[in-house]
Structure formats: C-alpha cells, structure tokens
Chains A and B, each alone.
Chain A
Amino acid sequence: MEEHHGLNYVRTEMLGEQAPPVSEVGAVRWVRENLFSGWVNTILTVISLAVIAWAVMAIGPWLLNSVWEAESLAQCREILAAAGAVNEHGTFGACWGVINDRWHQLLFGFYPPELYWRPILAFVLMLVALAPVLFPNVPRKWLFFSVAYPFIGFFLLWGGTVWLPLMIAAGFVVGYIAARLTSGYSTLITSAAAIIAPLIWWFYLMGPVTEALHSMIPIGLEAVQSNDFGGFMLSIIIGVTGIVLSLPLGILLALGRQSNMPLIKTICVVFIEFVRGVPLITLLFTASLLLNYFLPPGTNFDLILRVIIMVTLFATAYMAEVIRGGLAALPNGQYEAADALGLDYWKAQRLIIMPQALKISIPGIVNTFIGLFKDTTLVVFIGLLDPIGLSSAIRASSDWQGIYWELFIFIGAIFWIFCFGMSRYSMYLERRLKTDHR
C-alpha cells in the first residue's frame, strides 16, 4: 500500500494481472444470472421449462415408436398394434416406412431410376463447383470448373446432344467477341452489343447450328424430359439456378437504378417495382401460360426453364433493393477516392464499391436466397412435381392414403438443412470479411 500525501502521488510498482473472483465464473453463476434473476425471469423460466417438457412428452413417444420397415400405412399400423403402441385414437407412432418406400420419388420425381447416377453426379459436381466460390482457401484455378459447371450440369440432367450445352456456352463467346469488336465506341454501345449479339445467337442461330453439328458428330446422353423431373432435384435445380443468377442480375439492376442515365434508371425502377409488386404465383402462371406468346414463334421453351426465368426475375428485384441498401450505406468518399485514383466506373464498382456494399448486404442477400429456395415449392401450382407436389401424389396412392405428418416432417427437415446451411454460411462469411474493426 502506497501512502498518499496531499496531491502528490507517484506509482512505484505496476500491478500484475489477477484472476476474477469465484462468484464471477462457473455454471451456477450463469444459471443465476440468466434464468433466475428476479421473479419475472424465474416465472418465465418455469413456464418455458413446462412448455418444453409438454412438447417432449407429446412428441417423444410418437418418435420412439417409429416404424421404418413397412410397405403401406396399413402394414405400418399392424406393426404398431402388435408392438402395443396404441392410445385412445388408435395406433400411435411414426411411420417412416413411407420415406423408406418412396424416398427416390421425393428426391428425383419420375426421373428414370437407371439414370439416377446422373443427377447424383451433377449434385456432387455442383458441390465441387461451389467450393471455390464459397471458400477462399480452395485454389483459384478451380473457378474454371465453376464457370463450366452450368453446362456440364445441364448436359448431365437433361441429356440429349452434347452440342446444345456447348452452343449455349458459345453464346457467351459471341457476346465477348461483339464487345471486343465495338470496344472503340462508348460504353453504352459496347454493353448493348454484348447483350444483343448473344440473344440473336441463342434465339435464331443456335438451333440450326446444333442440329447440323449433331447430324455430323452425334455424341450425347439419353435425353430425359422435363416432365419427369421432380422432388428435391427440381427444387435444387430451380433454387440454385435462381440464386446463382439473381445475385449478378440484382447487382446490375441496383447499379442501373443508381445510374444517372434517365432511360436506364427508368427501366430499372419500372422493372423492380413491377416484379416486386405482383405475387410470385402470378409470375409462375405467366410462365406456364403466357411466356410463349412473347417469344419468337417456333421457340418451344421448356417449362422448367420458364419457371427458372420467372423465379430469377422475382428474386432479382428483391436482390436489387437489398444491394441498393448496401450501396446507400457507403460514404460518398469511397466513390471520390476511387475516382481520384483514376479507377473507371466498372473497376471502381468491382474493386471498391461492390465488395463493401455486398458485405453490408449479406444478411439481406441470404434472406432473399432462403426465401427463393422455399418459394420453389410454389411450382406445384403450375403442375410441376416438387416435393410438396409429390407428397400429394404419394398420399393419393392406395398404399399411403392417410399419411401426412411423416412426409411433411421429412420435407421440412430437408429444406431446413439447406436453409440452415445457408444461414450458417452467411454468418461465417460475415465473420471472415469483418475488417472494419469498428
């Protein structure tokens, strides 16, 4: 203890670090502070415990009495009755036999069973393609595979001639060449050429060229019709394509909305406000009924493709607004510093503005992704057999008439795994990108 004489004080030795008092650590303290601090909290804790106990007692026995091996609901009930799992309403227990019996339909719809390896391979390759996009420690050169994947996936899933995906890919090369040829002119002309040239290719030239090539060198896989697609495979195809496309399109739309060119700005605002303003289901009906009228005659657009377009447009409008929020949060000084250093518009966007705006928008972006993925179940209303549609089909069969909890729990659980995964990933990403040290 130093003595203090008057105002004059000089510390003679520095104090070492000490452990906190015992009352500040440990489980007891946690419980006391978090569950029983005051009578309101105590009552709430007790009520919560009661609710949890009730839920466990209500659902627990039902889960404990699970039956996995059964070929129909009747058989399942027999097994339960034999095991004595009965209450006042009849047999009491979960019949997971339906999943066991019909899982392939829930996953693949009516995809030919001997070809299941194709969607499975496509799924695995999708994970490989996503890895370099999602995780920074995967070598950058794998991104080439990510770029090629959409065409590989398309070929594996639908089959048919190998030339079709190749010619679709060639459309991007056409766009690139058009951009190079017009690079001497203004940005607007270059951008327009880069968009219009591939559209002309895809709509008018690609078909004949593909046919010609296929008749010369016929390579391909057995074709599978879109009608046979279904189940989670369909949800994932629509969901993942929508997610992958809506982010870049949303960025462009958000930038367009901020543009100081009135025409571009107006187009973007009208698009966003229109698409956000109508229910997705009306867009889906449009996709199933009307879209063909707007397209050049003769193009017979696949229904799944049409649905993907609509789902993507819908998500894009939301995405644009989420990203606009991120853009608005950036101080003007970031644009000015980029300008002052001589970065042009696209470089400034790519290197300075978007990395920050997207980082701010991560929660909103992932929110939109999750919404989009779950909204894929709406396609049941236009006759596509997503997992919900299939569950109706399964319940309509004589074997499984009357079952529903097990199917919906299974479907819900799978959706939950995907959505929870996205949510966790977004939290990981936010942590990884946290550099502002505020």
Chain B
Amino acid sequence: MNTTAERGIDRSQMTVSDEVAIQITNMNKWYGAFHVLRDINMTVNRGERIVICGPSGSGKSTLIRCINRLEEHQAGQIIVDGTELSSDLKNIDKVRSEVGMVFQHFNLFPHLTILENLTLAPIWVRKTPKREAEETAMYYLEKVKIPEQANKFPGQLSGGQQQRVAIARSLCMKPRIMLFDEPTSALDPEMIKEVLDTMIELAEEGMTMLCVTHEMGFAQAVANRVVFMDQGQIVEQNEPNEFFNNPQSERTQLFLSQILGH
C-alpha cells in the first residue's frame, strides 16, 4: 500500500514548532505485577507526526492510551499541553478535551446516527448549540468525504467509512493532538487507502499526531519520527528514512525484516 508516491506529499509544508505538546518523563506502568511500560521518555512538539511501531504486546497501545488517561501510569510524569495527568479529574477532563483518539475498532455509537455521533460530544461536553454543532459536523463529514451518510447508522457503513466517521467525530471536538491506535488494521486492503488519505490530509494541516501503525508507507510519507518499541521500552527512534534504511538496533532490524521482508 504505497500512498506516498501517488500523492507526492510536500513534506516541507508540514511545519513543526518547538513548542512542546506532550512531555513524557520516566514514565512507568504496571498491570498488576506485569511491568508493561518501562521508563518511557518522549517529547512531542506541536505539529509533529510520530509513528509508533513494534511487535505485538510491546506496549504501543498502552503508551498512547496513557496520554489521554484511558490507562493510568504509576510512576513518572505525563504533561499534555501544559497539564499534568494525575488523579485530578479536572486535569483529565481538560486533557481529554484537547486530545482526540481513533481506535482500531472505530467504537462508533451504534444507537446514534452518524450526525448524532459527531455532535454528541460538542453538545454535551463543549456546550455548543445544536445548530452550530451540526454545521461543524457536516464540515468534517465533507472533509472525510462522506457527507451523504450523515443520517445513516454506523452499522450501515463500510469499515473504511466508519473509521473516517470516527476520525471526523474526534475532529469535531477541535483537538490539538490526535492519537491513532492501529486505525487501519481492522480494515480490508481496499479501505485502508481511504483512511490513510484522510490521515495524510490531517497531517498536512499541521495536526500533532501520534499514530500506532504498521503502515510503513504512511510512516515514510508523513512521519517526522518513527518510534520503535519492544518489551515496554522505546528501543529506537529516528526520522523515517534513517529508520527504515539504516536501523541501528538488532531488534529493529529483525522487526523490519519481518514486516517488510518477505
């Protein structure tokens, strides 16, 4: 799946500021006795697009789920947009309203129409008037190219369409950071491209993105940095060309040979 060549993305347009969006320092997490994340240190600048990859069970999902506190970390510090994540509910709410998340299995609300899925959080969390929320929703539906589906239910859409709705739903909250957890891995090959195209467009607009994915074409096209994780640790990170063509660690080499190799 090579979206890069077809679209000829102009990477120079995508600017990265030196303002810090996410700062993770010495972060550790355990599931019971199992040490799932070990001493994670990571800084993400505003406008940066980071791809996280690694073998199954290496803790990629856990890491990005810590960033909007779907999972709780037990040691170290996570600061998102200047707000430190702690058990303080107000901080958690603040961070969640700034950070959008897209899941592997879309997690749309099946009892609501597409439009209702998109307007629910703006209306109930942001207190946006209904009309305005619907206008915003339609704007983002246009953007992900499925405005005609607005009044259908999620179950009536294809996987690719559902995932684009999920992206639009996050965008309706006007987040400053977007997290993606394997957004394309539950999709059939012909639908992967439409979702990746949407994500590339987002990247071009300067959205700060953290994306767990094995779509290496996407990584090469838009990422500033690829982070490789194994056994709960960050093993290697580099800008994409270096990462793919000149991996340093043995584990990275093994991993890359497995996913690109055949």
Contact = CB atoms under 8 A, between A and B. Distances in A.
Contact of B124 (A340, A351, A438): A351
A342 B125 contact: yes
Contacts of B111: 355-356, 359, 433, 435-436
A347 B101 CA distance: 19
A9 to B, nearest CB: 25
A352 interface: yes
Chain A at the B interface: mostly helix, strand, loop or mixed? helix
B51 interface: no
Contacts of A342: 93, 96-97, 121, 125, 173
B151 to A, nearest CB: 12
Nearest to B173: A341
A323 to B, nearest CB: 16
A437 B107 contact: no
A295 interface: no
Contact of A340 (B101, B108, B156): B101
B109 A337 contact: yes
A250 B197 CA distance: 46
Interface residues of B, number: 27
B85 interface: no
B107 A337 contact: yes
B103 interface: yes
A433 B170 CA distance: 25
Contacts of B47: none
A20 interface: no
Interface string B99-126: 1110101111111100000001100110
A344 B124 CA distance: 10
A437 B111 CA distance: 10
Nearest to B93: A342
Contacts of B100: 340
A299 B70 CA distance: 49
Contacts of A359: 111
Contact of A435 (B68, B96, B155, B173): B155
B110 A436 contact: yes
Contacts of A331: 105, 107
Contacts of B125: 341-343, 347
Contacts of A333: 103, 105-107
Contact of A437 (B106, B112, B156): B156
A436 B70 contact: no
Interface in A419-438: 433, 435-438
A334 interface: yes
B128 to A, nearest CB: 13
Interface string A175-204: 000000000000000000000000000000
B153 interface: yes
A336 interface: yes
B124 A435 contact: no
A339 interface: yes
Interface in A339-383: 339-344, 347, 351-352, 355-356, 359
Contacts of A334: 107, 109
A351 B105 contact: no
B103 A341 contact: no
A199 B21 CA distance: 49
A436 B111 CA distance: 7
Contact of A344 (B93, B110, B112): B93
Contacts of B112: 435
B110 A341 contact: no
Nearest to A435: B153
B121 A435 contact: no
A438 B105 CA distance: 16
A334 B108 CA distance: 7
A336 B93 contact: no
24 contacts: A333-B103, A333-B107, A336-B70, A337-B101, A337-B108, A337-B109, A339-B96, A340-B68, A341-B121, A341-B125, A342-B121, A342-B173, A343-B120, A347-B125, A351-B120, A356-B110, A356-B111, A359-B111, A435-B110, A435-B112, A436-B155, A437-B153, A437-B155, A438-B155
Interface of B: 68, 70, 93, 96-97, 99-101, 103, 105-112, 120-121, 124-125, 153, 155-156, 169-170, 173
Q: Which 3 A-B pairs have the closest CB atoms?
A: A437-B155, A337-B107, A333-B107
